[in-house]
């Protein structure tokens, strides 16, 4: 697939911009701060409904404007889809497909699939677990858009459960003075604390059900990614140790004592065993049961801390090079190679599913040494569409020739 | 900010569901410009509705008398109760003509974020209704969203010891939505194909 036209209204620095695009390589070149990333960020937004640079939508709306609109004309085989997203910070976004309103913007996910490489990717290796969870979940959504719903439901269950834990905690402490206290006491009034606990059990069940769905999908995804990441890493850094991934679940840490094997032989691991090693088809019902059991184990601690302590929102993806964890041990260059390998693996996976996703390379070549630069260019060059940004012409590898836009002073002009 | 009563009006309107500050302002200025007789009529029905409309003592549905029309109707099957969140859900289900039993209106769904627990809903009233053993099936028709599902699970567990048949509307309803937005045919089908809830 490729983007044939991008149109922006009040998005980032652009009051308006119209950019006609073609398959093949397109480079956006211009000095820093001129709006190159803003352009490709908009393409990424259409694909994922979020920015690779900021968590919220507010910074995406041009200073002083009330809302931003991004339109992208997507061509896949011979079919065309015009996606329009209206970004309303603080309120619900709106979407139109081929000019007809869509009830939920999230129903346009999957129409454009893209993989975006950016300097921020280094955080996949060096940053917090949240970065790696987001990488996995974004990829799940890109492969199967229904996971946007699974993710949203899970987040909502977490919020509801968190609110209940806080109510319970406030009531146990006698509560802070004022309104909150009255509410907390009301929650305990008739049936006493047992009432909060019985609702907690209901949320446990829902957390377990939604969490298991997310967890099973992540485990399966990691299994599919492993060989691809190892292969991509070896191509980028041939002399380095082998790259590998292990999904570390909060289900498997702690747990029953000495339970690190599948003792009862039911295909389900005890503590520590829940990594990608076990594999292929992890049964959702079994995971849900494990989650519920873990929730019961940590209940006391949860009531004390008022947070949900187990579940996919606390999991991590462990990256390793040979025997060593990448985080904290890998050199800067190795970390870069690992981050690129993760993104290239995502690209391979999406491509195998359903044809080439749009590749976006935001200012990455400047970060790489000549070997990695050449390898990356060779790998991405055959893709149906590659969008590149670079501050100077020398940062666009020779392997990637194609259309050329100058970006300067708020304008985007095609020069080649 | 506007002076005194105008701002008060905007503030009051702004507290209505679905009315944001901009709409509140628009409605306020519409009322200011409107014919005094029209405004008087509106004020009158507002007061009247508060004075006359009550909630059914039995099921919690809106009613003009102590009991609502459905609870007073002897032809309705007393063995089945359909539990819904709001009175408007009763209206939606009645339109399908699929259901001949009675209702129980909870007055919302469990939502800790909004500070709503079982005690804030008409759960105790439901338990009282079930106590005499006349009711044999409970249909949980809370909204097909997270809070509705949680409420259904909660109730199913609560009544489990009573050995009732507990059912949930079949899937096919738009997930994440409100019952009232489901069209009649879909809702009717969901009723017919309701499934046993196992908790
Ligand atoms: N919401 C916004 N409103 C107006 N200008 C913005 C907004 N967000 C970013 N900018 C401007 O966009 C420019 C950065 O654009 P960017 O695309 O990141 O540059 P680069 O060409 O280096 O990739 C900065 O000058 C910044 O001030
Ligand atoms: Mg940039
Ligand atoms: Zn009634």
Residue A342 lies in a domain: no
Residue B173 has pLDDT above 50, yes or no: yes
Q: Say if residue A199 is in the same domain as residue A309.
A: yes
Q: Within a domain: residue A351?
A: no
User: Which atom in ligand 1 lies closest to the alpha carbon of residue A32?
Assistant: 22
Instruction: Note whether A405 and A29 are within 8 A (CB).
Output: yes
- Asked whether residue A130 is domain-assigned, the answer is no
Provide the shortest C-alpha distance from residue A199 to chain B (in Å): 7
Which ligand has the shortest distance to the CA of A41?
Answer: 1
How far apart CA A113 and CA A143 sit, in angstroms, is 8
DSSP state of B63: E
Mutate to test the interface with A, among B23, B108, B115, B127 (most CBs of A within 10 A): B115
CATH number at residue A91: 3.40.50.300
Measured in Å, residue B167 CA sits from the centre of ligand 3 at 21
Q: Which of A66, A166, A183, A199 to mutate to test the interface with B (most CBs of B within 10 A)?
A: A199
Partners of A403 in beta bridges: A26
Domain count, chain A: 2
Rounded to 5 degrees, what are φ and ψ at B82? -105, 120
* 3-state SS track over A318-372: EEEECCEECCCCCCHHHHHHHHHHHHHHHHHHHHHHHCCCEEEEECCHHHCCHHH
> Given A161, A167, A202, which is nearest B153 (Cβ)?
A202
One domain for residues A172 and A283: yes
What average pLDDT does this structure show over A208-217? 95
* Residue B166, strand partner residues: B138
**Residue A157 is part of which domain span?**
147-318
Compute the distance from residue A270 Cα to the ligand 2 centre, in Å: 46
Reference B164, options B120, B192, B187, B132; nearest CA is: B132
Q: pLDDT at position B174, please?
A: 64
Per CB-CB distance under 8 Å, the chain B contacts of A190 are 119, 124
Q: Are residues A159 and A248 in the same domain?
A: yes
Is residue A348 included in any domain, yes or no?
A: no
Same domain, A294 and A408: no
Tens-place pLDDT, residues B106-153: 999 999 999 899 999 999 999 999 999 999 999 999 998 999 999 999
Considering the domain boundaries, does residue A128 fall inside one?
Answer: no
Mean pLDDT for the stretch of residues B172-182: 69
Report CA dihedral (A220, A104, B108, B47) to the nearest 10 degrees: 170
Identify which of A156, A167, A201 has the shortest CB distance to residue B146: A156
Compute the half-sphere exposure of residue B184: CA atoms within 13 Å on the CB side of its CA.
7
Domain-terminating residue out of A289, A318, A347: A318
Judged against a pLDDT cut of 70, whether residue A357 lies above it is answered with yes
Q: Indicate whether A20 and A101 sit together in one domain.
A: yes
Residues, chain A:
416
Q: What is the interface pTM, i.e. ipTM, of the complex?
A: 0.75
What is the per-residue pLDDT for B171?
A: 65
> How many CB atoms neighbour CB A75 within 10 A?
18
Tell me, yes or no, whether A64 and A202 share the same domain: no
pLDDT band at A188 (very low <50, low <70, confident <90, very high): very low
Q: CB contact, 8 Å: B178 with chain A? A: no
Ligand 1 atom nearest A407 alpha carbon: 21
Q: What's the CATH number of domain B4-52, 3.20.20.100, 3.40.50.1000, 1.10.8.420, 3.30.70.1350?
A: 1.10.8.420
Do the domain assignments include residue A71?
yes
- Cβ–Cβ under 8 Å, residues B167 and B137: yes
**Rounded Cα–Cα distance for residues B137 and A95 (Å):** 42
Q: What is the nearest CA distance from A202 to chain B, expressed in angstroms?
A: 6
In angstroms, what is the span from residue A32 Cα to ligand 1's centroid?
9
Residues A250 and A295 in one domain: yes
- How far apart CA B186 and CA A208 sit, in angstroms, is 29
Confidence at residue A202, expressed as pLDDT on a 0 to 100 scale: 93
The answer to whether residues A88 and A163 belong to one domain is no
Q: Give the pLDDT of residue B140.
A: 96
A289 and A155 housed in the same domain:
yes
Task: Answer with the one of A318, A347, A372 that is the final residue of a domain.
Answer: A318
Residues A96 and A228 in one domain: no
Which of A301, A318, A335 is the last residue in one of the domains?
A: A318
Q: Residues 6 or more apart from B44 whose CB is under 8 A from it?
A: none
Contacts of A202 in chain B (CB under 8 A): 110, 150, 153-154, 157
Q: Is A64 in the pocket of ligand 1 (CB under 6 A)?
A: no
On the question of pLDDT at A10 being above 70, the answer is: yes
Specify whether A179 is located in the same domain as A247.
yes
Same domain, A191 and A72: no
Q: Which region among A59-68, A241-250, A377-386, B178-187 has the lowest average model confidence (pLDDT)?
A: B178-187
pLDDT in tens, A221-240: 999 999 999 999 999 998 88
Q: Where are the domains of chain B?
A: 4-52, 55-196
CB contact under 8 A, B158 and A198: yes
- Entry pTM: 0.84
Q: Which of A99-108, A183-192, A347-356 is the least confident region?
A: A183-192
Between residues 101 and 160 of chain B, which touch chain A (CB distance below 8 Å)? 110-113, 115, 117-120, 124, 146-147, 149-150, 153-154, 157-158
Does CATH number 3.40.50.300 belong to domain B55-196?
no
Q: How far is CA B104 from CA A76, B46, B93, B95, B122, in A?
A: 51, 26, 12, 17, 8
The domains spanning B4-52 and B55-196 adopt the same CATH topology = no
**Is pLDDT above 70 for A268?**
no
List Cα–Cα distances, B22 to A409, B7, B26, in angstroms: 36, 12, 6
């Amino acid at each position: 697939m490729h983007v044939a036209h991008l149109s922006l209204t009040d998005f980032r620095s652009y009051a308006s911009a119209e950019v006609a695009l073609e398959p093949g390589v397109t480079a956006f070149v211009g000095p820093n701060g001129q709006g190159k990333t803003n352009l490709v960020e908009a393409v990424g937004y259409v694909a994922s409904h979020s920015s690779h640079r900021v968590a919220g939508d507010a910074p995406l709306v041009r200073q002083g404007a009330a809302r931003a609109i991004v339109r992208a004309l997507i061509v896949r085989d011979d079919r065309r889809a015009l996606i329009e997203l209206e970004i309303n910070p603080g309120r619900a976004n709106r979407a139109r497909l081929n000019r007809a309103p869509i009830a939920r913007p999230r129903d346009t996910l999957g129409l454009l699939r893209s993989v975006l490489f950016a300097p921020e990717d280094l955080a996949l290796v060096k940053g917090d677990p949240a970065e790696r969870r987001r990488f996995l979940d974004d990829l799940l959504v890109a492969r199967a858009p229904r996971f946007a719903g699974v993710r949203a439901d899970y987040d909502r269950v977490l919020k509801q459960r968190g609110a209940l834990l806080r109510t319970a905690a406030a009531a146990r402490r006698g509560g802070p003075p004022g309104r909150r206290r009255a509410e907390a006491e009301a929650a305990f009034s008739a049936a006493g604390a047992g009432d909060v606990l019985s609702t907690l059990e209901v949320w446990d069940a829902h957390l377990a059900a939604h969490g298991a769905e997310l967890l099973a999908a992540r485990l399966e995804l990691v299994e599919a990614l492993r060989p691809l990441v190892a292969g991509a890493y070896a191509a980028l850094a041939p002399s380095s140790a082998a790259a590998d991934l292990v999904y570390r679940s909060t289900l498997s840490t702690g747990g029953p004592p000495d339970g690190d094997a599948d003792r009862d032989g039911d295909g389900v691991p005890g503590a520590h065993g829940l990594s990608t090693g076990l594999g292929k088809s992890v049964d959702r019902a079994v995971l849900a049961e494990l989650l519920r059991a873990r929730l019961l184990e940590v209940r006391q601690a949860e009531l004390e801390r008022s947070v949900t302590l187990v579940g996919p929102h606390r999991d991590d993806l462990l990256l390793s090079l040979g025997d060593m964890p990448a985080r904290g041990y890998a050199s800067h260059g190795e970390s870069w190679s690992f981050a690129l390998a993760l993104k290239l693996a995502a690209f391979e996976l999406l491509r195998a599913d359903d044809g080439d996703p749009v590749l976006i390379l935001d200012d990455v070549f400047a970060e790489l040494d000549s070997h990695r630069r050449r390898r990356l260019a060779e790998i991405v060059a055959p893709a149906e569409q590659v969008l590149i940004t670079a501050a100077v012409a020398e940062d666009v590898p020779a392997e990637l020739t194609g259309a050329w836009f100058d970006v300067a002073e708020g304008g985007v002009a095609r020069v080649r | 900010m506007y002076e005194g009563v105008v701002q008060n009006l905007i503030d009051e309107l702004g507290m209505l569901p679905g009315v944001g500050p901009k709409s509140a302002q628009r409605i306020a200025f519409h009322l200011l410009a409107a014919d005094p007789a029209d405004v008087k009529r509106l004020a009158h029905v507002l007061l009247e509705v508060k004075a006359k409309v009550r909630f059914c003592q039995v099921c919690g549905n809106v009613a003009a008398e102590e009991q609502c029309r459905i609870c007073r109707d002897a032809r309705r099957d007393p063995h089945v109760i359909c539990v819904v969140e709001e009175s408007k859900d009763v209206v939606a289900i009645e339109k399908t003509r699929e259901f001949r039993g009675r209702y129980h209106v909870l007055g919302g769904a469990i939502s800790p974020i909004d500070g709503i627990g079982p005690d804030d809903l008409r759960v105790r009233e439901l338990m009282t209704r079930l106590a005499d053993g006349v009711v044999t099936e409970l249909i949980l028709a809370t909204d097909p969203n997270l809070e509705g599902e949680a409420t259904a699970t909660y109730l199913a567990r609560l009544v489990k010891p009573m050995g009732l048949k507990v059912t949930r509307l079949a899937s096919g309803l738009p997930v994440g939505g409100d019952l009232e937005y489901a069209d009649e045919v879909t809702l009717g089908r969901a009723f017919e194909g309701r499934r046993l809830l196992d908790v």
